[in-house]
Amino acid sequence: MLLRRQKKPLIGLDITTSSIKLIELAEAGKGFRVEAYAAHPTPVNAINEKVIVDSDAVGQAIAQAVRRAGTRNRDVAIAISGDAAITKIIQMPANLTEAEMEGQVELQADQYIPFPMEEVSFDYEVVGVSAKDPDSLDVLLVATRTENVDQRVAAVEAAGLTARLVDVEAFALENACRLLSHQMPDNGIDRQVAVVDFGASTTTFSVLEDLRVIYTRDFAFGGQQLTEEIMRTYGLSLEDAGRAKKEGGLPSNYGPEVLDAFIDDMTQQVSRSLQFFLASGSGREQPDQILVCGGCANIPGVADVIASRVGIPTEIGDPLGQMKIGSRPKSQNVKKDSTALLIACGLALRSFD
């Protein structure tokens, strides 16, 4: 199931520790239109460290999101986290038939995967002619423990849906970044752009060159830390703190006492990630631009603070910026959440590969 491309429409379903987000897209001229969208909170403690521990509870949340979206589509694309996947570029003879290629990949996979093969789900995709040998092809091998796939498939099936495609979050993010190209200098061509996707508990820092990811790093940081600080500072429940963070109504000292410190932390995480990137290989240079995505991107002024601290032009990434909104989704809700929809959009775009 990993990486397999589909021709029929798929709902992009992003399952995270904080929320279930789904989006359904349709082609509209040279672009796309949002046909359906919804988000629903993930049940507390149903997901731990990206592992689904209560498939039924997550399935109920997915079902509620589907009802809210009003879609009749029951086919979805989902993703496993990058740290649950093993990816490796291997070389294969260019003259192999498709059946021979599949057999050879399966034979070679065993030496790259540190688990018994009966416990593993894997797939591959031909990338192109190898730079090392013109008579060989570069083949992307992707593998994960089958239990990582089964957890998500079980939750999807508990919601009455069918998982038609299982992707990897890093690939879904790269796929979605073409929706950000209108914000990039020269549409991202011959440019390096850093995309920072702040999630609830995990942030992904990626650098793209010609819209292809050349570096990625996941680290434990996200909007949940701000929610917990609001909870501690003002004596609120976790649920009330999350609502206040999104809807407002916090005391006047919220900015200087809580929010400013969190923005400082965000900036330090971006600066540290840039340092890791620059140290990751010879000839690395500062990216031309930073695009900030995820729920934290909606914090007023955060892009300006990051730009002033790290010295790189920074904008809020909006994957829906050039999309039309269909008659079914509530435009206001979709636009409000658009910065957090990179993974969901990247999965939905698999419908058109």
| Predicted confidence (pLDDT) per residue in 33-72, tens digit | 999 999 999 998 899 878 899 999 999 999 999 999 999 9
Instruction: Kindly state the average pLDDT of the residues 246-274.
Output: 94
Q: Say if domain 181-316 classifies as CATH 2.40.160.20.
A: no
| Predicted confidence (pLDDT) per residue in 277-331, tens digit | 999 988 899 999 999 999 999 999 999 999 999 999 999 999 999 998 988 887 7
Instruction: Kindly state the average pLDDT of the residues 185-208.
Output: 95
Number of alpha helices (DSSP H) and beta strands (DSSP E) in the chain: 11, 16
| Predicted confidence (pLDDT) per residue in 44-54, tens digit | 889 987 889 99
Place 332 in a pLDDT band, splitting at 50, 70 and 90.
Answer: confident
Q: What is the pLDDT of residue 82?
A: 83
Q: What is the pLDDT of residue 19?
A: 92
Q: What is the pLDDT of residue 40?
A: 93
Could you give the residue range(s) of every CATH 3.30.420.40 domain in the chain? Answer: 11-82+149-177+322-352, 181-316
Q: What is the pLDDT of residue 49?
A: 79
Mean pLDDT, the chain, rounded, equals 92
The four Cα atoms 98, 100, 103, 106 give a dihedral, to 10 degrees, of: -70
Task: Please state, in angstroms and rounded to a whole number, the distance separating the CA atoms of residues 194 and 123.
Answer: 28
| Model confidence at 6: pLDDT above 60 | no
Q: Could you tell me the two tokens for 247? A: 């809807």
| Model confidence at 32: pLDDT above 90 | yes
Place 132 in a pLDDT band, splitting at 50, 70 and 90.
Answer: confident
> Exposed, middle or buried, 220 (CB in 10 Å: 0-12/13-18/19+)?
exposed
Instruction: Kindly state the average pLDDT of the residues 250-256.
Output: 93
Q: Which CATH class is domain 11-82+149-177+322-352?
A: alpha beta
Q: What is the pLDDT of residue 138?
A: 93
Instruction: Kindly state the average pLDDT of the residues 207-236.
Output: 93
Q: What is the pLDDT of residue 238?
A: 86
CATH topology (fold) of 83-146: Dna Ligase; domain 1 (3.30.1490)
| Model confidence at 2: pLDDT above 70 | no
Q: What is the pLDDT of residue 225?
A: 95
Task: Please state, in angstroms and rounded to a whole number, the distance separating the CA atoms of residues 316 and 280.
Answer: 25
Instruction: Kindly state the average pLDDT of the residues 130-151.
Output: 92
| Model confidence at 5: pLDDT above 60 | no
Please list the alpha-helical segments (H only) found in the chain. 55-69, 98-112, 146-158, 169-176, 223-234, 238-247, 254, 260-278, 302-310, 331-337, 342-348
